[in-house]
Amino acid sequence: MDFELTEEQRIVQRNVHRFMVKEIEPLAEQIDREDKFPPGIWKKLGDLGFLGATVAEEYGGSGFDLLTAVLVMEQMARTCPALAVSYGAHANLCADNLSRNANEELKRKYLPGLCSGDLVGCLALTEPNAGSDAVNIRTTARRDGDDFLLNGSKMFITNAPVGDIFLTYAKTEPDKKAKGITAFVVEKDFPGLSIPKKLNKMGNRGSPTGEVVFEDCRVPARNVVGKLNEGIKVMMGGLDVERAFYGGECLGIAEGAFELGLKYSKERDQFGEIICNFQMIKAKLADMYTEIEAARGLVYRAAVMADKAQRGGKGTEVHKLAAAAILFAAETARRVSNHAVQIHGGYGYMLEFPVNRFYRDAKLYEIGAGTSEIRRLVIANEIISKGLDYV
């Protein structure tokens, strides 16, 4: 297996990192404190070609493979995880999903705006009573002539307060459970859609999160994504891609925290000695590096395999591998950011020091995009039912 990135991928890496250092890093503390991004940032991401990373060029995208898109996510999170959260919801959960599942009319209507940054995309799936148990959503969609009327509510929806396009899941035949779910594109201006409040989060501040309410929200039948009552295929079809994609954010969080911890350890003097010379600090630094590189191998491999499976390749192990990648990467981000705070000592507990932001931001990925507990169940069930293939 070739573990070397292509020159094109390295150029993309450098371009994202350069943008983040120049445009975002000076504002990262302000973004966290004020819980909002400065105007114009989204459009700049579109101009650079990042918002439609995996979308075909004919729809305004960049046509990247999944690994290259993961590299974009990783470099964003290395500087500002909050921006990466919003980027992921837009580029992966919304735009990429539409590019793979929507009909030609919907693709041409929505993808160019999503890729340019003129539109902000969201995934409206999670509900107050349905998180990991996504099949038991309660939002309904009832046929009414040429439209559907949606009723229900969604919770913890990334980008909702600023969203233009909501890829929404609803029960069209509630009695059929998983076989009665349909996916829709819902525009923010459709009558009956409202965003009652923006949620106040512990971490990833700056990435707007909100509740979405549908009250007889009228959605044209032509806005069905995929086939009627086959929304579960849309939902599950991109799950491995999503896990690999968000594994890239976890990797970036760990890298950003590690860089801060290493830098501080080479500057802080205690007992007449720079603390990076202390054996316990060296042990932490070694562990942080090792976990990050192990996570990198899992995440990059999962991205390559998910891409192949998505396009008809073998990908026989991708389901459990993608779950393992985000499980390990998320827990690595939490452990590494914890070590980085510890290296900073009391200063790491102060809001003025950026390391605490990575610590707070890291926790999301043991909860969001499927909890660590659910990921372990996925891996174990795959191993038990299909066995292992080490040759």
Q: Give tens-digit pLDDT for 341-354.
A: 999 999 999 998 99
Q: What percent of the chain has pLDDT over 90?
A: 82
Residue 49 lies in a domain: yes
Assign residue 352 the CATH number of its domain: 1.20.140.10
Q: Which two tokens stand for residue 84?
A: 């990466």
> Is the separation of the CB atoms in 115 and 46 below 8 Å?
yes
Confidence of residue 80 (pLDDT cuts 50, 70, 90): very high
Lowest mean pLDDT among 105-109, 236-240, 327-331, 373-377: 236-240
Residue 276 lies in a domain: yes
Long-range contacts at 95-98 (CB < 8 A, ≥ 24 apart): 95/51, 95/52, 95/54, 95/55, 95/61, 95/121, 96/53, 96/54, 96/55, 96/69, 96/238, 96/241, 97/123, 97/167, 97/225, 97/234, 97/238, 98/167, 98/185, 98/225
Looking at the structure, do residues 95 and 154 belong to the same domain, yes or no? no
Looking at the structure, do residues 31 and 146 belong to the same domain, yes or no? no
Looking at the structure, do residues 279 and 353 belong to the same domain, yes or no? yes
Looking at the structure, do residues 271 and 341 belong to the same domain, yes or no? yes
As for how many domains the chain has, the answer is 3
Looking at the structure, do residues 42 and 74 belong to the same domain, yes or no? yes
Mean pLDDT of 130-159: 91
Q: Which two tokens stand for residue 228?
A: 């009627």
Closest to 54 measured CA to CA, from 111, 117, 119: 111
pLDDT of residue 313: 37
Distance of CA 370 to the CA centre of its chain: 11
Assign residue 81 the CATH number of its domain: 1.10.540.10
Cβ neighbour number for residue 29 with a 10 Å cutoff: 14
> Is the separation of the CB atoms in 229 and 182 below 8 Å?
yes
Q: Scanning the structure block, which residue is given the tokens 């590494």? A: 336
> Is the separation of the CB atoms in 209 and 156 below 8 Å?
yes
Report how far residue 284's alpha carbon sits from residue 261's, in angstroms, rounded to the nearest whole number.
Answer: 10
Mean pLDDT of 132-156: 92
Examine the fold and report which residue of 204, 228, 252 is the final residue of a domain before the chain moves on. Answer: 228
Report how far residue 170's alpha carbon sits from residue 167's, in angstroms, rounded to the nearest whole number.
Answer: 10
Q: Which two tokens stand for residue 238?
A: 């991109």
Instruction: Tell me the pLDDT of the chain averaged across its residues.
Output: 93
pLDDT of residue 237: 80
pLDDT of residue 388: 82
pLDDT of residue 2: 65
Examine the fold and report which residue of 100, 119, 138 is the final residue of a domain before the chain moves on. Answer: 119
In the annotation, is 242 catalytic?
Answer: yes
Looking at the structure, do residues 39 and 107 belong to the same domain, yes or no? yes
Can you list the alpha helix ranges (DSSP code H) found in the chain? 7-19, 28-34, 41-47, 66-79, 81-88, 97-101, 104-116, 231-237, 239-265, 279-310, 318-344, 355-362, 372-386
Distance of CA 197 to the CA centre of its chain: 22
Statement: residue 315 has pLDDT above 50: no
Cα 88–Cα 252–Cα 124 angle in degrees, nearest 5? 20
Element (H, E) at 352: none
Confidence of residue 312 (pLDDT cuts 50, 70, 90): very low
Residue 2 lies in a domain: no
Q: Which two tokens stand for residue 141?
A: 């969609």
pLDDT of residue 314: 37
> What are the b/e assignments for 225-243, b being 16+ CB within 10 Å?
bbebbbbbebbebbbbbbb
Looking at the structure, do residues 31 and 161 belong to the same domain, yes or no? no
Examine the fold and report which residue of 81, 100, 119 is the final residue of a domain before the chain moves on. Answer: 119
Lowest mean pLDDT among 60-74, 93-107, 366-380: 366-380
- One-letter amino acid at 336 equals V
Mean pLDDT of 357-376: 93
Report how far residue 317's alpha carbon sits from residue 21's, in angstroms, rounded to the nearest whole number.
Answer: 37
Mean pLDDT of 35-48: 91
Residue 391 lies in a domain: no
User: In a 3-state reduction of DSSP, which class is residue 171?
Assistant: strand
> Is the separation of the CB atoms in 167 and 231 below 8 Å?
no
Mean pLDDT of 49-76: 96
Better pLDDT: 38 or 101: 101
Mean pLDDT of 299-305: 93
Q: Give residue-wise pLDDT tens across range 162-221.
A: 999 999 999 999 888 889 999 999 999 999 999 999 999 999 999 999 999 999 999 999
Report how far residue 379's alpha carbon sits from residue 319's, in angstroms, rounded to the nearest whole number.
Answer: 8
Closest to 187 measured CA to CA, from 220, 142, 156: 220
Confidence of residue 369 (pLDDT cuts 50, 70, 90): confident
**From 127, 211, 242, 291, active-site residue:** 242
Residue 42 lies in a domain: yes
Domain range for 353 is: 238-386
Looking at the structure, do residues 106 and 133 belong to the same domain, yes or no? no
Looking at the structure, do residues 324 and 262 belong to the same domain, yes or no? yes
Report how far residue 30's alpha carbon sits from residue 27's, in angstroms, rounded to the nearest whole number.
Answer: 5
Query: How long is the chain?
Result: 391
Q: What is the dihedral of CA 4, 7, 13, 19, to 10 degrees?
A: 170
Q: What percent of the chain has pLDDT over 70?
A: 97
